[in-house]
Amino acid sequence: MNEISEQLHGKGRYATRTRERVAQVLREERRYLTAHAIHEMLVARGISISLSTVYRTLELLVGLGVAATRGEENGEISYVFCTVQHHHHAVCRTCGRVEEVGCGPLARFARDLRAGQGFELEDHAIELYGRCSDCAKR
Amino acid sequence: MNEISEQLHGKGRYATRTRERVAQVLREERRYLTAHAIHEMLVARGISISLSTVYRTLELLVGLGVAATRGEENGEISYVFCTVQHHHHAVCRTCGRVEEVGCGPLARFARDLRAGQGFELEDHAIELYGRCSDCAKR
DNA sequence: AATAATTTGACGACGAATCGCAAATTCATG
DNA sequence: CATGAATTTGCGATTCGTCGTCAAATTATT
Ligand SMILES: [Zn+2]
Ligand SMILES: [Zn+2]
Ligand SMILES: [Zn+2]
Ligand SMILES: [Zn+2]
């Protein structure tokens, strides 16, 4: 019984094979995927699952804090595996891999912002794009 | 003839009353609005315009670099008035006002990131949330 | 195995966004 | 200002992502 199963069990939800499979895709891929893409990947593996269930499971995982969403420019919603603590995502433009990074230097940024235009920073959303260590070598 | 009209004229597009009205809403509001919201605001002013035209005009303004988009979590797309040069948005959580801010401190952030996990930063997307100077006083 | 609670899949509803085409508007030209 | 070509607009239909309903299936418990 893994971490997600324990969280589900603690909240009176069932830890089903179906849910574990959706979570497994996110754990393996580590990049932003739409519900549709996840569904297709599971079907390609010979697993029978409905698109509705994929949506519901993703919503559940986001609620548990183990998945994060991002609104794409075309209106689609993408999901990615995620840890609970506050962090940001560095997205590789070559392979799509998502790495988590902290946000230490933002403290100084917030101070400058308040001094400059009186804006009191409460929160921030950052996405970083570039090349992951593997792809940068090639 | 304003700045947007000139840009349109230079690209063989017509500077129409309709387009100017959509741009005017963005200029006045300075916050993220959906195409639907913009359409309703224009209709409320007694202006007859189709939702299709609002969508097409917004797409055009984004292409001109005077509007920016953001994918919302529910799949909608929001638009905001924007200058061409690189910058980020500080969004007031009380009134929704969007202010533009630079990203000077990010240079150090990029250096630390490369040293820490080998990620080569090429670009970034940042959204800041908090209270604008007006709302912070109350 | 029996039971109760939860989840799943199939289907349809809903809304955002887009497309095609005829009518209207814009703009250059005379 | 009148004319005509080019572009834009509005309308309706269409596509597509997402979510709701409900009976059937699955899960956990005894
Ligand atoms: Zn994350
Ligand atoms: Zn990579
Ligand atoms: Zn404010
Ligand atoms: Zn920047």
* Element (DSSP H or E) covering residue B122: strand B120-131
* Element (DSSP H or E) covering residue B70: strand B67-71
Q: Do A73 and A133 sit in the same domain of this protein? A: no
pLDDT at res. A3? 80
Is the minimum distance from the CB of B105 to strand D below 7 Å?
no
Say how far B52 CA is from D14 C1', in Å.
Answer: 14
CATH number at residue B112: 3.30.1490.190
Average pLDDT of the residues in B23-47:
95
Nearest CA in chain B to A124: B128
Q: Do B73 and B126 sit in the same domain of this protein? A: no
pLDDT at res. B134? 83
Q: Which has the closest alpha carbon to B70: B28, B113, B129?
A: B129
Q: Do A20 and A49 sit in the same domain of this protein? A: yes
Q: Do A8 and A75 sit in the same domain of this protein? A: yes
Boundary of a domain, candidates B61, B81, B101: B81
Boundary of a domain, candidates A40, A58, A81: A81
What are the tens digits of pLDDT across the range B101-111? 777 766 777 77
Neighbouring CB atoms inside 10 A of B53's CB total 17
Dist. CA A103 → ligand 4 center (Å)? 15
Q: What is d(CA A91, CA A131) in angstroms, rounded to the nearest whole number?
A: 8
Question: Would you state the structure tokens that stand for residue B86, as one six-digit string?
Answer: 């690189």
Q: Report the residue count for chain B.
A: 138
pLDDT band at A113 (very low <50, low <70, confident <90, very high): confident
pLDDT band at A126 (very low <50, low <70, confident <90, very high): confident
Boundary of a domain, candidates A59, A81, A103: A81
Beta strands (DSSP E) in chain A are 33-34, 67-71, 77-81, 88-92, 98-101, 120-131
Q: How far is CA A44 from CA A49, A54, B51, in A?
A: 11, 14, 39
Q: What is d(CA A31, CA B14) in angstroms, rounded to the nearest whole number?
A: 42
A123 secondary structure, DSSP code = E
pLDDT at res. A1? 58
CATH number at residue A73: 1.10.10.10
Q: Do B22 and B76 sit in the same domain of this protein? A: yes
Alpha helix locations (H) across B11-132?
17-29, 35-44, 51-64, 106-117
Report the range of poorest mean pLDDT among A16-30, A109-123, B51-65.
A109-123
Q: Do A32 and A77 sit in the same domain of this protein? A: yes
Average pLDDT of the residues in B38-56:
97
CB contact at 8 A, A93 and A131: yes
pLDDT at res. B87? 78
Domain that holds residue A119: 88-137
Domain count, chain A: 2
What are the tens digits of pLDDT across the range B79-136? 999 887 777 778 887 777 887 777 776 677 777 777 777 788 788 888 778 888 888 8
Report the range of poorest mean pLDDT among A40-54, A86-100, B64-78, B79-93.
A86-100
Distance between A1 CA and the closest CA of chain B, angstroms: 31
CB contact (8 A) between residue A71 and residue B69: no
Q: Do B70 and B110 sit in the same domain of this protein? A: no
CB contact at 8 A, B80 and B37: no
Direct distance between the N- and C-terminal alpha carbons of chain B, in angstroms, rounded to an integer: 39
Q: Do A15 and A62 sit in the same domain of this protein? A: yes
Q: Do A99 and A75 sit in the same domain of this protein? A: no
Q: What is d(CA B108, CA B101) in angstroms, rounded to the nearest whole number?
A: 17
Report the range of poorest mean pLDDT among A79-88, B38-47, B73-82.
A79-88
pLDDT at res. B1? 59
Q: Which residue has the higher pLDDT, B56 or A30?
A: B56
Q: Nearest 5°: phi and psi at B85?
A: -65, 160
Q: Do B12 and B77 sit in the same domain of this protein? A: yes
CB contact (8 A) between residue A105 and residue B112: yes
Distance between B28 CA and the closest CA of chain A, angstroms: 20
pLDDT at res. B105? 63
Q: Do B35 and B102 sit in the same domain of this protein? A: no
| Nearest amino-acid residue to C18, taking CA and C1' | B52
Say how far A107 CA is from D3 C1', in Å.
Answer: 65
Residue with tokens 């638009």: B79
Q: Do A73 and A9 sit in the same domain of this protein? A: yes
